[in-house]
Structure 1
Amino acid sequence: MNPIATKAKQWIDEKKDPRSAYWQAGLEAVMDLFLPHLEKGKLTPVRPLEEKDLSVFKAALERVDLSPGLFAAFLPPVVANTIIPPDSAEELVRIEKEKPSYKLIILRPGKENRILCIEISDHAHRPGMEIFQSGALLGTFDYPTHDLCIMELTKTIRAHAWEKDKWQRNDYIAYTLNWFEKTEYLGKSDVSVNENYSFFHRPTLIKTNRVDALFLMIYEILHHRFQEDAEDVCKGLTKAGGKNYGTDMTVSASHSLAETSILDLLNIVKTLNLLDFKEFTTAENKAFDHEFARTVRKISSDLEAMVVAYSYKKR
């Protein structure tokens, strides 16, 4: 017996509807396939997107608001069209087989996985979502139009997918960073965010103030970004310093990269009016200058340490 049938049989033995049991088991199998490529708290395409897919992805990204423990996959037609409900579950069919389907699958892992399957294609005759848990169909949401389906994503995902456990400091940080990276990518200031969970909007969540919160967000984003692209970053900085790392030229290059990267993110904050710098008090302006200089030093130091490690690795 294949894994899908095995899981479905377990739920059917618990008196769950076979149609929903098989559909959830199939959706979980799909997510198992893509999980190694997904990052918690982020809506991730399961394969490179074509130009025609980008507008749909961006529309979803703007409205999909995920708590930090959720996995979310964006399925373009080349994948989504192969994932269809069982023939016996006609009521779960939202789009004709020959039409391009765009699906979101959201998984809340736990003792009893909860999974949301959302059809957002503007070709769907019935855009909307199903919510499953333990082989049971908990509920459905149907929308008369594609646009309304997209607009309602924020509310329905928060209500039916977000974890109910108390958040920790790392959760607030992860949630805020994910929001800002979406904002940066989309170039929009109205990306869905629950300000009660974002330390940028409510610095007291992590017992800080708005200046420190701003630079913490910037530091964390750049630190992760440079770590993810470590080899290319190190190659560039090593080239700037010649054969021997530690020269003034290389240290200067690290400082320059840190400063430029911080200024780029600050410019996004200013351009999108995410923070009104004109409202800063004299004390906050002084703190801003201090934190800017400190964050430049901290990131520059991180970069220098990365290049040292890279140079040893290359020997």
Structure 2
Amino acid sequence: MDRMTSKLTQWIEQENRDPRSARWQAALEEIMSLFIPRLEKGKLTPVNPLQEQDIPIFKSALASVDLSPGLWAAFLPPSAAALILPPADAMEELVRIDSDKPSYKIIIQRPGKESRILCTEISEYAHRPGIDIFQEGALLGSFNYETHEICLEEMTKAVRAHAWEKDKWSREDIIAYTVNWFEKVLSLEQADVSVEEKRSFFHSPTLIQTNRVDALFRLLTAFLNLRFQADPENFTASLPDKIGNGEDRMSACNALAESYLLDLLNTVRSLALLDFKKFTGQEEKKFKTEFTRSVRKLASDLDKMDS
């Protein structure tokens, strides 16, 4: 809090920022500092449990909001958003919804020396749905939309233009971005999820110096390994113990790995993420080779986990 007070004083007294925008950005940064322990960079995350009526709105936001790997992003349902209001003396354009209406907010923060914050109101009850962009205590700009649907549709453009990191992405960034996109596709069970294809190695394999068959299996194995690491007990519960059951355990690991991989490949096919019918003869051979190699690698990873 002392650090934020010092920053606010600097913005207003030394940099001559409008106190109204400076105080609102300071409040948003302080709020995000409380949320960040529950967030994961590059992923839009609810900060409170969602009620049944919140879920369709969150899913729409999840499909529309395209985040680069270094961004923090919080989805605030009414239970959280109702407590977060612009200061009483805020600029009129910052007041986007009446205090007695259910508010849905998305706050996106780009960390760094010059912290940038985007605060978006997407509630259907908002009289001014839109996005406000702050940096160093200044309101850099606002986007206002006629409806909350249009606001969600246009969010990707605004986020890419005003929040994405401008530096060249590392290989790790590209992989994280692609896996996050795929995770959203699976979660929503739909292919229509915002993605910048020039940043995704699944869509542009040359980003990581590979081809589309190899990119497919790299994506699936990376996704499954993250799943394994997130909940190892769930994946190893049915496996025989390591001691004295080496052959049986490895056989079970292979069967599990093959099952998980086939499930994902069926999803890729059913959602038409990749047209397998257009594979060349050489690609079909490589597909079989990569499938076998991936099963072996995933089985080995499962075997190394404690059961």
Fold match (TM-score > 0.5):
yes
Q: Distance in 2 between matches of 1:21 and 1:202?
A: 41
1:190-224: CA deviation from partner (whole Å, max 9, x where unpaired): 21111111100010010000000000000100001
Structure 2 unaligned spans of 5+: none
Q: Distance in 2 between matches of 1:245 and 1:43?
A: 44
SS for the counterpart of 1:249 is helix
Other-structure match for 2:28: 27
Q: Give runs of aligned pairs for residues 1-315 of structure 1, distance below 5 A.
A: 2-13=2-13, 14-91=15-92, 92-237=94-239, 241=240, 244=243, 246-307=245-306
Q: Distance in 2 between matches of 1:83 and 1:9?
A: 21
Structure 1 unaligned spans of 5+: 311-315
1:271-301: CA deviation from partner (whole Å, max 9, x where unpaired): 0101000000111000000000000000000
Contact 1:5 1:22 in 2 (8 A): no
Amino acid of the structure 2 residue aligned with 1:225: R
1:80-106: CA deviation from partner (whole Å, max 9, x where unpaired): 010000010141111111111000000
Q: Distance in 2 between matches of 1:51 and 1:235?
A: 31
Contact 1:66 1:157 in 2 (8 A): yes
Q: Distance in 1 between matches of 2:282 and 2:53?
A: 49
Of 227-236 and 69-78, deviating more is 227-236
Q: Distance in 1 between matches of 2:242 and 2:281?
A: 45
SS for the counterpart of 1:196 is helix
Contact 1:211 1:287 in 2 (8 A): yes
1:142-184: CA deviation from partner (whole Å, max 9, x where unpaired): 1111111011011111111111001111111111101111111
- What is the Cα deviation at residue 117 of structure 1? 0.3
Other-structure match for 1:313: none
Superposed CA RMSD in Å reads: 1.4
Q: Distance in 1 between matches of 2:5 and 2:105?
A: 23
Contact 2:130 2:145 in 1 (8 A): yes
Contact 2:242 2:249 in 1 (8 A): no
Amino acid of the structure 2 residue aligned with 1:112: E
Amino acid of the structure 1 residue aligned with 2:100: E
- What is the Cα deviation at residue 187 of structure 1? 1.2
Rate the CA distance shift 1:150–1:245 in 2: closer, same or farther, 3 A.
farther
- What is the Cα deviation at residue 225 of structure 1? 0.5
TM-score, with structure 1 as normaliser: 0.94
Q: Distance in 1 between matches of 2:242 and 2:132?
A: 59
Contact 1:71 1:106 in 2 (8 A): yes
SS for the counterpart of 1:236 is coil
Contact 2:21 2:91 in 1 (8 A): no
Of 108-117 and 224-233, deviating more is 224-233
Rate the CA distance shift 1:51–1:245 in 2: closer, same or farther, 3 A.
farther
- What is the Cα deviation at residue 5 of structure 1? 3.3
Contact 1:230 1:306 in 2 (8 A): yes
- What is the Cα deviation at residue 3 of structure 1? 4.8
- Percent identity of the aligned residues? 60
Amino acid of the structure 2 residue aligned with 1:198: S
- What is the Cα deviation at residue 9 of structure 1? 1.4
Contact 1:255 1:300 in 2 (8 A): yes
Contact 1:4 1:22 in 2 (8 A): no
Q: Distance in 1 between matches of 2:244 and 2:9?
A: 61
SS for the counterpart of 1:152 is helix
SS for the counterpart of 1:47 is coil
- What is the Cα deviation at residue 243 of structure 1? 7.8
Residue-pair matches, total: 305
Q: Distance in 1 between matches of 2:3 and 2:174?
A: 36
- What is the Cα deviation at residue 67 of structure 1? 0.8
Q: Distance in 1 between matches of 2:242 and 2:165?
A: 51
